[in-house]
Amino acid sequence: MPVTLLFGVHAHQPVGNFPAVIDDAHARCYSLFLRVMEGYPEFRFSMHFSGWLLDYLLARYPEDMARLATMTQRGQIEWFGSGDCEPVLAAIPQRDRVTQITTLSDKIERHFGMRPAGAWLTERVWESSVVPALVETGIRYVAVDDYHFLCAGTDGAQLDSFYTTEEDGQRLDLFPIAEAARYRLPFSPAAEAVAWLEDLARQGHRAAIYFDDIEKFGIWPETHAWVYEKGWLTQFVEGVLASPLIRTATYAEYHAREKTRGIVYLPTTSYIEMNEWTLPAPRARAYHALLEAEKAAGHFEEHKAFLRGGIWRNFLSRYPEANWMHKRMLDASMRLARLPAAQRTTEMQEHLHRAQANDAYWHGLFGGLYLPHLRRAVWHNLLALEAALERLAPAPALECRDLDNDGHDELLLRSGEALAVIREDGDAALVEFSSLPLAHNFGDTLRRHAETYHTKLSGGMQHAGAGVATSGANKNGIASAHDRISFLHAIAAADAAPDARPRGLCLDTWIAADGTRQALDTYRRNGAPSHFVATGADWRVEKHYALQGGTLEITYHITGAAAASAQLETQLNLALPSCDGYGGRYVLADGHIPCGFGQVLELPTLSRIALEDTELGSQSNRPPGTRHGALHLAVSPAPSFSARPHHTVSQSEAGFEKIMQAVCITLRWPTVTGDGQRITLKIVAAS
């Protein structure tokens, strides 16, 4: 009896990714894959494109999209649905799950004439709470990892067909994706992959279930030459079609003719690598050591179902920046839901969907939390939505609540043009400063976090292009990105040293007469809602925030005998689109441009400076021909000024890299003149 190969591929690019990157992915992968598969109509398979990527390809590459339509019409391709902008469904509200899934299903039906009955789950994140939304939107089955089933105690030998689960009486069928297939295709030689499928047939398996990223077929390191230039994909397809022991089918065809293997209830989980990435660095190292010990002892395959690690939502507790973005998104979703239906627009819904795109909320080998342009895309859409909401149903000018559930209240100041958020955690610093006209959050930066892979830097300097290693798992093939170590930039261990304090705006330090530094992290609210006080031995610092229009004013009042010979220092971590690109530069009061954001700038005294960025506001509704946006700083009395780039070190499938997250500006008032000293800092967002 032949084994049925259920072959599915998933294509996705993050919302906000650079057009050049998407065009390159299309040229090296998407287009070539479709052109090869077009030549084999009898090879049936399933496909999922995220809606945001599909929109881009429909506009830019109509010929290849016409190819897809032809292959769909002749029955070669089955379309899978999902959330339109690739959210983790479990991380967004039920109402948004429904609109996300429906939007993509409508889009696929409109362009390709098929309404999906199957769905791809982003990062294969499974929580049973997503079942009702999937069923309500017409989805009948999804594909998740066989690992999910093993964690539920299912016999691995029985994972060759679909099972059934339910939530609140609503039924959904689940296909277990074979890990063995994910690690073979396309990394082992085509003949070996075909022989493996034939062995499954001889063993009596009903189906070989595969669904994974299409980017493995041309974008991952080494795969373009391997899959196309050396002919892996053609060899594999022809080998499958020539074998009497293998037949292909879409998931829909298989689902229609087979019966479920029975009922199953899966635990909350994702793929096994993700479960490691979600853990804090010390726990991740311990977990990884446990896995390696089990492998060395020969027990890993037997025990891996019981070695589960964390869950996807742990990213929101690991990274305060991701949690803040997520809770702000949930708040905006609630505001939109409260709006009368007649006032809601398609554009507002699309902004919300894009703000829910998964990539910027997590970090692992493929997650995009460390990539500023992906976080910026989330914030752009979130703030564009809030600008529309402010026109229809303005939020209060002043709110105080614990929005992100971290145990500290946030003070939200709104002016209609801007939003300033101060966290009451002792630092009394800004966690967000957003301009609605520019649709940009200047506080959107990332601190240096401890990551488990930073241990690979402990030997000292690692050189760009050096240190490539592979596991040898496919001796005659190529290495998976999971097994590679390489360095895109020269990196020292010190570059990854974790930050002791958050990366906010107006993080203050008191410097005593003897040079002793003391973090001002004991501010307490005093009197007026936006008024904070910190005290020490014979000194007192009062700090006050005020927001009017696009101008944020921070004032300090310093008193006490010890103030006469002390210094006050504040740090501003400002996220700008160009970072170390060509479009970002400092402009002094006299018009002089000393350098760009990626360089160090030291000035003995400064009262005014502008941070200009050609990309700032480029996605907003700024009229054509207007000047680029800028952030203006005005300080009185004039402090010393120091600015340098803030980098983080992260690892992606391409290797270790240093990424500029923000401009870190330090203002220091050299000598506080005595009792009653007043300092004023104005930050103005201008379009």
**Could you list the active site residues?**
123, 213
**Measured distance CA(586)–CA(581) in Å, rounded:** 13
Taking each helix axis from N to C terminus, what angle separates 320-338 and 372-392, rounded to the nearest 10 degrees?
30
Taking each helix axis from N to C terminus, what angle separates 346-355 and 372-392, rounded to the nearest 10 degrees?
150
Structure tokens, 271: 């793929």
Structure tokens, 300: 């890993």
Contacts of 129 (CB under 8 A, 6+ apart): 90, 94, 167
Contacts of 524 (CB under 8 A, 6+ apart): 426, 532, 533, 534
Contact (CB, 8 A) for 604 and 628: no
**Measured distance CA(82)–CA(100) in Å, rounded:** 7
Beta partners for residue 533, in sequence order: 524, 542
Q: Is 632 exposed, middle or buried (0-12, 13-18, 19+ CB in 10 A)?
A: middle
Compute the C-alpha angle 332/338/341, nearest 5°.
115
Which among 512, 28, 44 is positioned nearest to 253, based on CA atoms? 44
* Span between the terminal Cα atoms of the chain, in Å: 68
> Strand, coil or helix: what is 353?
helix
Taking each helix axis from N to C terminus, what angle separates 51-60 and 94-112, rounded to the nearest 10 degrees?
30
Compute the C-alpha angle 582/25/319, nearest 5°.
65
Tokens 């429906």 -> residue: 102
Peptide bond just before 637 cis, omega within 30 deg = yes
**Measured distance CA(425)–CA(419) in Å, rounded:** 19
Q: Which helix (H) or strand (E) holds 373?
A: helix 372-392
